[in-house]
Structure 1
Amino acid sequence: MPTIAIVGAGPGLGLSIARVFGEQGYEVALIARRQSSLDEMVAELGTAGVAAAGYRADILDRATLVRAFKEIAANHDPVEVLEFSPAPRGLEPGMVLAGPLEVSVANVQPHIDFYVHGAITATGQVLPDMLERGTGTLLFTTGPCSVAPMPTMGNVGIACAALRNWVLNLHDALAGKGVYAAHVPLSLDANDADPDTIAPHYWQIHSRGEGPEHLLTPETLRTGRDASDL
């Protein structure tokens, strides 16, 4: 049974993506910081007939992330899909928002550690095996500040744009190797950000395996077409 590993899984989008892939025959490995949240999501997926397990890790503590993937490798078939979509919840240490005039090394570094170093670490745990098998998908989710300037998120945008740059280069470097990498920026307001509406697009992106970037906007959700189709 193929496995999807969801890094930064939460009760919103992460859970919905898990449900969609589970319905397609995937076993789900959820990675998150709080064990109670993992237990609740695993139980909810179980009631829907989805095989799932939770693995506790703190993205800012890379050793715990590496350990979580070792546990996944011991308990599941190889990871066929990695979905990376962490979002800070509550007041993470040092993870403040800063506008362009307030950006400093101190308030950028935690976001670099969270988004960029977290993604690189997670990818490093599954990519070698994907390359050896010649199959796999790597999906990285960010907010709109990765592709469009948002002054209120001056420091976060630096980190998310760096992650985007790496993923686009990764997509090109993996061409012809059987492994697909793509960036999925979400550009949605509160009325459009329904996880159960968004999640099926991740299955479409994975199953098609085309294009380095798939901007999910309100128009995408209405038409079923993302920016790469337009």
Structure 2
Amino acid sequence: MTTFALVGAGPGLGLATARRFGGAGHAVALISRSAEKLDALTAELARDGIQAGGFTADVLDTESLDAALYAAAAALGPIEILQYSPVPRADFMKPVLEATADDLDAPLAFSVKGPVTAVNAVLPGMRQLGRGTLLFVNGGSAVRPHPDRAGTSIAFAAESAYARMLHDALAAENIHAAQLIIPGAIRPDAEHSSPEVLARRLYEIHLKRDGFRHYAEPLPD
């Protein structure tokens, strides 16, 4: 059995993707800052018959993230799929004319250092398996910067560039890097952006391996 590792586990999209990949036969490693949240999520997955473990880490603390991913692989099996989808903090979204250089430190750590750390932790195991999938989930500001959300617009663009380079550099090794852009809010009643629909879309991206950037729905005009 191989493992689906989710960085940014939560009760919405995170739980839905954990169910989708876990239901397909993967063990599930949930990574979040909150041990209490992880306990609740792993218990819920266990009721569905899915083997899951929770591992605490803060994506702004690269050592803790690295340790969590290594612990997950040791406990559950080699990580075949990594999903990086933590939710940005509200203070990352200052208007561009109010943002200072220091205001970019945390967003860039969150969206660049975090993904680089996570990928470097799982890549050796994927290479041993001879396959792997790296899934990056971002909001619309990754491709259409918003002047009221300077931190995420800048940091998501950098994450997108990193993910695209991985897509090109790892294709020959059967390791597929892809990005899913979710332009609006994730809502249970959304036709294209409900947690369950997005989870199915991410699983489809993993299976089809047919390109880098995907959209949950068209960007609004």
User: TM-score, length-normalised on structure 1?
Assistant: 0.89
One-letter amino acid of the structure 2 residue matched with residue 120 of structure 1: V
Provide the rounded CA distance (Å) in 2 between the counterparts of 1:175 and 1:74. Answer: 26
Partner of 1:174: 170
What do residues 125-181 of structure 1 show as CA deviations (whole Å, max 9, x unaligned)?
Answer: 011221233200000111110011211101210000000011011101112111100
Question: What's the secondary structure of 1:5's corresponding residue?
Answer: strand
Partner of 2:78: 78
Provide the rounded CA distance (Å) in 2 between the counterparts of 1:135 and 1:156. Answer: 31
1:123 aligned onto 2:119 = yes
1:107, CA displacement in angstroms? Answer: 0.7
Provide the rounded CA distance (Å) in 1 between the counterparts of 2:108 and 2:144. Answer: 18
Partner of 1:3: 3
What do residues 5-27 of structure 1 show as CA deviations (whole Å, max 9, x unaligned)?
Answer: 00011111011000001111111
Partner of 1:137: 133
Provide the rounded CA distance (Å) in 2 between the counterparts of 1:23 and 1:13. Answer: 15
1:66, CA displacement in angstroms? Answer: 1.2
Question: Could you list the runs of 5+ residues in structure 2 that have no partner in the other structure?
Answer: none
One-letter amino acid of the structure 1 residue matched with residue 123 of structure 2: L
What do residues 48-89 of structure 1 show as CA deviations (whole Å, max 9, x unaligned)?
Answer: 111111000011111111111121122121001000000135
Provide the rounded CA distance (Å) in 2 between the counterparts of 1:136 and 1:175. Answer: 10
What do residues 86-144 of structure 1 show as CA deviations (whole Å, max 9, x unaligned)?
Answer: 0135x6xxx44211212221111110001111000011101122123320000011111
Partner of 1:35: 35
Provide the rounded CA distance (Å) in 2 between the counterparts of 1:199 and 1:32. Answer: 18
1:154 aligned onto 2:150 = yes
Partner of 1:49: 49
**Percentage of pairs with the same residue:** 40
Provide the rounded CA distance (Å) in 2 between the counterparts of 1:158 and 1:149. Answer: 7
Partner of 2:101: 105
Provide the rounded CA distance (Å) in 1 between the counterparts of 2:127 and 2:52. Answer: 25
Question: Could you list the runs of 5+ residues in structure 1 that have no partner in the other structure?
Answer: 220-230
Provide the rounded CA distance (Å) in 2 between the counterparts of 1:174 and 1:16. Answer: 27
- Change in Cα spacing, 1:175 to 1:148, as seen in structure 2 (3 Å) is same
What do residues 22-49 of structure 1 show as CA deviations (whole Å, max 9, x unaligned)?
Answer: 1111110000000000000001111111
Partner of 2:184: 188
Provide the rounded CA distance (Å) in 1 between the counterparts of 2:168 and 2:88. Answer: 29
Partner of 1:210: 210
One-letter amino acid of the structure 1 residue matched with residue 200 of structure 2: P
Aligned length: 215
1:21 aligned onto 2:17 = no
Range that drifts further, 201-210 or 122-131: 122-131
Partner of 1:222: none
Structure 1 consecutive aligned stretches of length 4 or more whose deviation exceeds 3 Å: none
Question: What's the secondary structure of 1:175's corresponding residue?
Answer: helix
Provide the rounded CA distance (Å) in 2 between the counterparts of 1:124 and 1:105. Answer: 27
Provide the rounded CA distance (Å) in 1 between the counterparts of 2:65 and 2:198. Answer: 26
One-letter amino acid of the structure 2 residue matched with residue 138 of structure 1: L
- Change in Cα spacing, 1:37 to 1:218, as seen in structure 2 (3 Å) is farther
- The answer to whether the Cα contact below 8 Å between 1:45 and 1:51 also exists between their aligned partners in 2 is yes
